[in-house]
Amino acid sequence: MKISKSILHAMLIAVTTGAIVSCEKPRAEDVSKPGVTSPKGQSNTDQGVPLPGGCPACGMG
């Protein structure tokens, strides 16, 4: 499926720099409220959100 260039570009920057979390970000609990973001100008101190290894879900993980 075709993905917009702007999304792919943002993703490329994120994976290249390791900054998976952006400066202006909706909170996971707030994505149902479009437009809710962190305060502008907040420095980006998050350097990626690697999910930990493994997944318990399938019962043999």
Partner 1 sequence: MIAFCGLSSNLDQHLLQAALPLLQSGKVDALEWSFDTLYNHQDIPDWFVELLRTFGNEGRLVGHGVYYSLFSAKFTADQKNWLTHLGRMCTAFRFDHITEHFGFMTGRNFHEGAPLSVPFNKTTLAIGQDRLKRMSAVCQCPVGIENLAYAYSPDDVSRHGDFLEKLVAPVNGFIILDLHNVYCQAHNFDLDPKQLIDQFPLQLVREIHLSGGSWESSEIDPGRQIRRDTHDDGLPSEIFDLLSYATEKCPSLKFIMLEQIGISLYSEEKRFQYQKDFEHIRTIVQNPGPNPKAFVEPNFLPGNNIALSTPVEDEALFRQQRFLAEILENAGDYNDAKKLLEIKMSNTDWQVEHWQPHMLETAIAIAQKWKQGFNAQPH
- By CB under 8 A, tell whether 11 contacts partner 1: yes
Question: Restricting to residues 40-59, which ones interact with partner 1 according to CB under 8 A?
Answer: 46, 48-59
- By CB under 8 A, tell whether 20 contacts partner 1: yes
Gap between the Cα atoms of 29 and 31, Å rounded: 6
- Which of 28, 39, 41, 43 binds partner 1 (CB under 8 A)? It is 28
Cβ 48 vs Cβ 20: under 8 Å? yes
Closest by CA position to 46, among listed 23, 26, 15: 23
Gap between the Cα atoms of 27 and 23, Å rounded: 11
List residues binding partner 1 (CB under 8 A).
Answer: 1-4, 6-8, 10-12, 14-15, 18, 20-22, 24-29, 31-32, 37-38, 46, 48-61
